[in-house]
Amino acid sequence: MEQATTVAEGVRAGKALSLSKKENRLAWMLIGPILLYFALFQGFPIVFGLGIGFTNWVGVTSRPTFAGLRNFVRFFQDPIYLGTLWNAFYIGALVMFFNVTIGFAGAYLLNTPMKGKTLIRSIWYLPAVTAPVATTQIFLMFIDPSSGIANRALQLVGLEPIAWGYSTFWMVTWIVAYSSWRGIGGAMILWLAGLQSIDPAFYEAADIDGASGWQKLIYVTLPSLRNITTFVLITGFTGALQIFEPVLFISQAGPFGTTDVIVHRVFRDFYGDFNFGMAGAGALVITLIIFVFSLTTLRWYQVKEQ
Amino acid sequence: MKRMLAIVAVLAAVATFGFAAGEADAPAEGPTRIRVNMEGYAGGEGTPEEIIATQQARLDGGELNANQAAETEWRIDYITALAEAADERGVQWEGVDWGWAEQLTQRQLNAFLAEQGPDILVGEVQMPGFARQGYLEPFPPALAAKVRAEVVPGAYGPMEVDGEIYGIATFPGVNVLFWNKDLLRQAGLDPDRAPATWDEWLDMVEQITAAGNGEFYGGGTYAGPNFGGSLRVGPFMMMAGGGFIDENGDVDFANEGNFEAFSFMRELAKNSPPGAVAGASEGGWWDALNQGRIAYVVDGPWRLAAGEALGIDIGYSTLPIPTGGSAANVTIGAAFYGVPTYAENKEEAFLFIEALLDESVQDLHVQAGQRPPVLQMYSQDADFADSYIATFHETLYGDVSGLPTFKGESNARIWDVFHQHMAEAIVTDGDIREILARAQELGEQFQGQ
């Protein structure tokens, strides 16, 4: 009897093992192609792109040679690289501020019972899926010095037209305005998802306790959104530091280089000077900054959770 | 895991052999067909037959206005003539359209990296740099001799390096002064009189601005912080004895010639709609011309036809020169054709370039009236003495150069520095010498890296 039990257990165990193998195989068959795709078309370029930061590689037909930290030393000694990094920080911070706050306000509004919510949500999100190359051209037409609507409007009310392109203040304003126009919809959707995941019982309890709308926002809504806040901050910061299209298409780093940002500099190093080494180093610096910010934010989240 | 690897190996093998089988199924190869990177004005995508069919379909569609229809008919004639000239030389070809400017340079960069791509490349400001960096083949001696004997020097001069020719613009542009005659009339000026000197030009420009009273301006030239700006400001720097590099090829921004040119450009810039002269995009500047808000512009030869197409009564002349200076120019919109070192069909590629210089092909540029032909025979022909060809050839025989490629590893960075400081010098009230000194310092710093 004992032996029979052992055999039966063995058969069951064998079946379980066989099932586990089958599942394993199925899992690999499902994941394998995408892993292969990722390794070939994303993993390799990422590793390669970061690796070339440690090489001296200038010119299309030249071969890279190991340069150690030379490119990084140059990066941190060059006022132009540091200037573009600072520009990305402060322009990105402005964009992030507007995306996060206005996005939250929009989500809060859309989370209340109102008519046409879906339509408003779609309209708000629409800019996020438009092509920057097309929408920036529309923006440029708006601020065209000769026939732009912005200057015509000023003249209509008796004001002098503004040379937008000659003013750092105005160029930063337009870059932030454009980036926020595109980014607020994305942030809003994230906030909305967070708001909708809050258990209504919390609000009911707050109502019973006689909490005001403001108190519910401070003591119920915001604490419940901590995980979404972390996500919005990390993705917002990542996007903000990598601000590129508005600079390339709207300001072209002008006026006089005052809106040049780090990703645009990397782009110019790579495609302008064919200086792949410096472009790689610049890209790696951006990656490290984002990595450190993400870790710090996650740590903050974990501490708050505890 | 082993099975997984086996599956991957099988998939890879299937893919590889699949592609190989696909190649084996391809029809037997005929004569070699070279691939020619072409630009938008006189090129197209595909074989000559395909380009012509595409253009014919546009014509048959009936949606083109008169100018567009005329341009399309011209394109068909041009491609037909080019195909015949190439065929006479035993060359079959197909066009590849990679766009222009930044997009084109990126694709060409990728072609150099991969060491494969079209057998002929076309481009503007990047081509002299490609020649200096050794990415292009020098013209074979026979073709080089033919070019020197028959072609105006400005068409190939910018592509000469150490006595070798690396490329040629077969319908080049140089900067010319254009003006809206109606605005000159409204300002009480003779619409057919071309200003001969900078002083005379500035005086006319200021008179037009005064007459326009905010409705229209005298204009001058676009000077934005990009190649569109430096291509048009460059001639003025050179005419005043300045320029971008010294005789050793080193960065030379802070010189007296440039100071004189930028001082003059600053005065001119006060005679344009706010923000138009140095906007990041050229669009605002050309809008102002097209809307009749500025009288003078500096541009390449296409502006004549473009202006006429908009109904602007347009005048043109060579650029005015400064007192004590001399005529000089920079090629603009010049589509230089060159053969990359990776090209598999170099012999055929050079024969194709020779076909671009065939009289039957060059005649079509005369007919189009948008770009000058490059054969010297046209400027020697009395029939063309009063035509736009004479104006452009006068310049193309003179001191014409392309924009330089700076020494060192940071050519693009130095250009960025120059462009930003050029715009600052022209449209702000800052001390021009101090701005040039800053540009010089940064330029030298990057040149040394």
Q: What is the pLDDT of residues B178-197, one digit of tens each?
A: 999 999 999 999 999 999 99
Partner-chain residue, chosen from B133, B274, B281, that has the shortest CB–CB distance to A140: B281
Best of A35, A137, A273 to mutate (most B CBs within 10 Å, chain B): A273
State the Cα–Cα distance between residues B244 and B405, nearest whole angstrom: 10
> A with B: how many residue pairs have Cβ under 8 Å apart?
125
Instruction: State whether residue A23 sits within 8 Å of chain B by CB.
Output: no
Sequence-distant (6+) residues with CB within 8 A of B174 are: B154, B300, B301, B329, B330, B331, B332, B334, B392, B395, B396, B400
User: Best of A248, A256, A265 to disrupt the B interface by mutation (most B CBs within 10 Å)?
Assistant: A256
* Phi–psi pair at B133, nearest 5 degrees: -85, 5
CB of B102 within 8 Å of a chain A CB? The answer is yes
Beta-carbon separation of B280 and A252 below 8 A: yes
Q: Does A29 touch chain B (CB under 8 A)?
A: yes
pLDDT at B29: 55
* DSSP single-letter state for residue B118: -
CATH code for position B257: 3.40.190.10
Question: What is the rounded CA–CA span in Å between residue B345 and residue B339?
Answer: 9
Whether B61 maps to a domain, the answer reads yes
Cα B394-B398-B400 angle, rounded to 5 deg: 115
Output the tens digit of pLDDT for each of chain A's 306 residues.
Answer: 445 455 566 656 566 556 678 888 888 899 999 999 988 888 888 888 888 999 998 876 678 899 999 999 999 998 889 999 999 999 999 999 999 999 999 998 888 888 888 888 888 888 888 888 888 988 888 888 777 888 889 988 988 888 888 899 999 999 999 999 999 998 999 999 999 999 999 999 999 999 988 899 899 998 899 889 888 888 888 888 889 999 998 988 889 889 999 999 999 888 888 889 999 999 999 999 999 988 998 888 888 777
Which of B113, B274, B428 minimises the CB distance to A60?
Answer: B113
Which of these three, B377, B397, B417, is where a domain ends?
A: B397
Return the pLDDT at A143.
86
Q: Which of B355, B378, B397 is the last residue of a domain?
A: B397
Whether residues B47 and B164 fall in one domain: yes
B151-156 contacts at long range (C-beta below 8 A, 24 or more positions apart): B151/B357, B151/B374, B151/B375, B151/B376, B152/B374, B152/B375, B152/B376, B152/B379, B152/B393, B152/B396, B152/B397, B153/B396, B153/B397, B153/B400, B154/B329, B154/B331, B154/B395, B154/B396, B154/B397, B154/B398, B154/B400, B155/B334, B155/B374, B155/B396
Residues B215 and B294 in one domain: yes
Nearest CA in chain A to B134: A61
Does B279 sit within 8 Å of A151, measured CB to CB? no
- Whether B433 and chain A come into contact, CB under 8 Å, resolves to no
- Strand segments, DSSP code E, in A91-230 are none
Pairwise CA distance, residues B379 & A145, whole Å: 40
Asked whether residue B191 falls in the same domain as residue B290, the answer is yes
A36 and B449: CB-CB below 8 Å? no
Asked if A256 and B105 come within 8 Å (Cβ–Cβ), the reply is no
- Residue B27 is assigned to a structural domain of this protein: no
Cis peptide before A127 (omega within 30 of 0): no
Judge if B215 and B322 occupy the same domain: yes
- CA A270 to chain B, closest CA, distance in angstroms equals 9
What would the two tokens of residue A89 be?
A: 């920080």
d(CA A260, CA B280): 13
Mutate which: A136, A146, A172, A266, vs B, most B CBs within 10 A: A146
Q: Is residue B309 part of a domain?
A: yes
In this complex, the residue of B135, B287, B411 whose CB is nearest that of residue A146 is: B287
| Same domain (yes/no): B44, B97 | yes
Q: Do A268 and B413 touch (CB under 8 A)?
A: yes
Stretch 408-427 of chain B: residues touching chain A, C-beta under 8 Å? 409-413, 415-417, 420-421, 423-424, 427
Is the interface score ipTM higher than 0.90?
A: no
pLDDT attached to residue A61 = 67
Residue B7 lies in a domain: no
Contact B274 A161 (CB under 8 A): yes
pLDDT < 50: residue spans in chain B: 1, 4-28
* Whether residues B203 and B168 fall in one domain: no
B278 touches chain A (CB under 8 A): yes
* Pair (B168, B181) in one structural domain: no
Whether B131 and B163 map to the same domain: the answer is yes
Tell me the C-alpha distance between B159 and B167, whole Å: 5
Partners of residue B109 in chain A, C-beta under 8 Å: 60, 271, 274
Which domain covers residue B106, as residue numbers?
33-172+334-397
> Is A25 touching B (CB cutoff 8 A)?
yes
Q: How far is A28 from chain B (nearest CA, A)?
A: 7
Count structural domains, chain B: 2
Q: Residues B232, B300: one domain?
A: yes
d(CA B360, CA B86): 11
Do B129 and B48 lie in one domain? The reply is yes
From the CA of B62, how many Å to the nearest CA of chain A?
28
Is B17 contained in some domain?
no
- Min CA distance, A145 vs chain B (Å)? 5
Q: Is residue B216 part of a domain?
A: yes
Structural domain contains residue B297: yes
Within the 332-361 window of chain B, which residues sit less than 8 Å (CB to CB) from chain A?
341
Contact B276 A145 (CB under 8 A): yes
Segment 127-166 of chain A within 8 Å of chain B by CB:
140-141, 144-148, 151, 160-166
Retrieve residue B30's tokens.
Answer: 């005929």
What totals of helices (H) and strands (E) does chain B contain, helices first?
A: 18, 13
214-273 of B, contacting A, C-beta below 8 A: 225-226, 273
Domain match, B232 and B307 both: yes
Contacts of B280 in chain A (CB under 8 A): 165, 250-252, 254
Asked if A281 reaches chain B (Cβ–Cβ under 8 Å), the answer is no
What is the per-residue pLDDT for B128? 87
Task: Using CA coordinates, name the residue in chain B closest to A143.
Answer: B284
Q: Examine the fold and report which residue of B379, B397, B415 is the final residue of a domain before the chain moves on.
A: B397
CB contact under 8 A, B281 and A256: no
The whole-number pLDDT of residue A140 equals 86
In a domain, B22, yes or no: no
SS3 A253: coil
Q: Are residues B73 and B91 in the same domain?
A: yes
